[in-house]
A = this chain, B = another copy of it.
Amino acid sequence: MKPTDMPKEGAEMTEETEHMIEKNCAKEPEEENVASVGDAKEMRVVVLTGFGGLNKLRVTKKPMPEPLEGEVKIRVKACGLNFVDLMVRQGNIDNPPKTPLVPGFECSGIVEAMGDNTTGFEIGDRVIAFVNYNAWAEVVCTPLDLVFKIPDDMSFTEAAAFSMNFVTAYMMLFEVANLRDGMSVLVHSAGGGVGQAVAQLCSTVPNVTVFGTASPFKHEAIKDSLTHLFDRNIDYVPEVKKISPEGVDIVLDCLCGENTGKGLGLLKPLGTYILYGSSSMVTGETKSFFSFAKSWWQVEKVNPIKLYEENKVMAGFSLLNLLFKQGGGGQVRNAVLKLFSLYNEKKIKPRVDSLWALEEVKEAMQRIHDRGNIGKLILDVEKSPTPLMANDSTETSEAGEDEEEHEADNDNKERMPFIQ
C-alpha cells in the first residue's frame, strides 16, 4: 500500500500516539523513532474481501489504527476464532457490515498506547480485548471498557481462548440461568470452545450433571469433562430422558432450528432454555439463503402463555450484541473478573485446540466448519505459516479469486499445526 492511500486522520493520530509513547516510556534515540515510522504505519491483517467462501479471505497490509479518546491501542499477540466468524464470512448475520472488512472479535496482547484523556491502563499491560471487528490484525484499537488486564500466569494463547467462550458460558449459566447445586445442564457441541467452558464452569458448582452432544471422534478426548456424552448424530432427547426422565434444568443451544422445541420440551419446571447461536444455519461453505430462511422459520415461535402453564424460561444470549449494540460492557466486566478469580484458583483453564498463523486462517476456518476442533482455535499473530504441502492451494494473493464455492477440501487438513 502506498503512503498516499493512508487516510489523513490515521496519519494525524499516529503522531499523537508516538507522542504518548514518548511520554510514557523510556526515551529512545530520536533518530530511531523517525526511522521506525515507515514500518509502524502499516500492519498485517486478515481481510474479508466480500461475503462468501474461504477464497474471500487473505492477508494484506493496512494502515495501523490509532486510539481515539476512550480507546486503548493493543499490540496483538493472539486472536480467537469462533463459529460466528464463519457466519460473518458468509454474511449470515443480522445487518452485516460492508466489505472489505477485517474479521475477528477478540484478541490478547500488550497495551501500546491510550487515546487522549484516557486512563486505566499502563503501556505494557497484558490484556484481553473485545473488538467490534478488526481483531485479526497486528494492532487493534478498542474502547477502554472492553479491555481487561489478564492474570500474570495466563499466556496470550490462553487469554485469546478465554474471553468469548468463558464469558458466554459464565453469563448463560450464572446470570441468565442461575446454575446452582444439584442442577443439570445439556450443552451441544460439547467439544467446542463454549462447550468446554460450560463443562469446566459446571464443575465449579457441586453436584451438577452435564449432558453433552459431540461428534463420536471427540468423545475419547472430552469424556472426562462431562457426565453423559451423546453422539451428535442421534436424537439426544430419548437418551437424556432415559437417564433423567424429569428432564434437565438448563439447555444451552447453539444449533437453533428444531432444537429449540426439543430443548424446551426437555426442561424441568423452572428450567431455562438458552439459544446462544444458530450454527445449524451454516451448512455449506457459503451462505445459503434458503437454508438460512428455513432455519429461521423452523424455529417454533413460543406463546408466553405456554411458558406460564409449563413454568419454563426461554432466553437468548448473544455476547456480540450485548457488547457492541447494547452497551453491556459493564455487565461483561463483572463476569470477566469472576472468571479471572476462578482461573487464579485453578478451577478453569481454557482448552486450546490449535494455533494458526494469520496466513493459515482458511485452514483454521475449514477446521471449525468441519467441527474438527476440540477446544479453541487461535490465530497466533507472531507465528510463521507451516510450510505448505504439495497440494495445498492456500495463498494470500491480492488478485481477485472467482472460484465457486467448493465443499470442504480435505487436503487442506494436511497443514494442521495441532498442539496437544
A residues adjacent to B (C-beta < 8 A): 94, 171, 175-176, 178, 246, 256, 260, 269-270, 272-273, 275-278, 296, 299, 301-318, 321-322, 326-328, 331
Minimum CB–CB distance from A38 to chain B (whole Å) comes to 44
Whether A270 contacts B328 by the Cβ 8 Å rule is yes
Q: CB within 8 A of A307: which of B171, B296, B311, B315?
A: B315
Minimum CB–CB distance from A415 to chain B (whole Å) comes to 35
Q: CB within 8 A of A308: which of B269, B312, B318?
A: B318
A297→B304 CA distance, assembly (Å): 11
Whether B302 contacts A270 by the Cβ 8 Å rule is no
Residues in B neighbouring A309, C-beta threshold 8 A = 94, 316, 318, 321
A328→B269 CA distance, assembly (Å): 7
Whether A299 contacts B307 by the Cβ 8 Å rule is no
Whether B275 contacts A307 by the Cβ 8 Å rule is yes
**Residue with the highest number of chain B CB atoms closer than 10 Å, among A276, A301, A311:** A311
Whether B316 contacts A175 by the Cβ 8 Å rule is no
Minimum CB–CB distance from A348 to chain B (whole Å) comes to 21
Minimum CB–CB distance from A191 to chain B (whole Å) comes to 22
A312→B312 CA distance, assembly (Å): 14
- Count of chain copies: 2
A95→B91 CA distance, assembly (Å): 47
Q: Which residue of B lies closest to A334 (CB)?
A: B180
Minimum CB–CB distance from A313 to chain B (whole Å) comes to 4
A311 and B301 in contact (CB under 8 A), knowing A269-B331, A270-B331? no
Whether A306 contacts B316 by the Cβ 8 Å rule is yes
Q: CB within 8 A of A269: which of B310, B311, B322?
A: B322
Q: Which residue of B lies closest to A307 (CB)?
A: B316
A278→B302 CA distance, assembly (Å): 17
Minimum CB–CB distance from A291 to chain B (whole Å) comes to 14
A269→B175 CA distance, assembly (Å): 12
A273→B260 CA distance, assembly (Å): 19
Whether A296 contacts B302 by the Cβ 8 Å rule is no
Minimum CB–CB distance from A218 to chain B (whole Å) comes to 25
Whether B326 contacts A316 by the Cβ 8 Å rule is no
A171→B246 CA distance, assembly (Å): 20
Q: CB within 8 A of A270: which of B178, B275, B312, B322?
A: B322
A31→B190 CA distance, assembly (Å): 72
Whether B312 contacts A315 by the Cβ 8 Å rule is yes
Q: CB within 8 A of A260: which of B304, B317, B322?
A: B304
- The contact sample of 16 A-B pairs, CB cut-off 8 A, is A176-B313, A269-B322, A269-B331, A272-B315, A275-B304, A275-B307, A277-B308, A296-B305, A306-B316, A307-B314, A308-B316, A308-B317, A311-B316, A311-B318, A311-B321, A313-B313
Residues in B neighbouring A316, C-beta threshold 8 A = 304-313
Q: Which residue of B lies closest to A269 (CB)?
A: B326
Q: CB within 8 A of A314: which of B175, B315, B322?
A: B315
Whether B305 contacts A256 by the Cβ 8 Å rule is yes
Whether B311 contacts A314 by the Cβ 8 Å rule is no
Q: Which residue of B lies closest to A95 (CB)?
A: B309
Whether A308 contacts B278 by the Cβ 8 Å rule is yes
Whether B314 contacts A304 by the Cβ 8 Å rule is yes
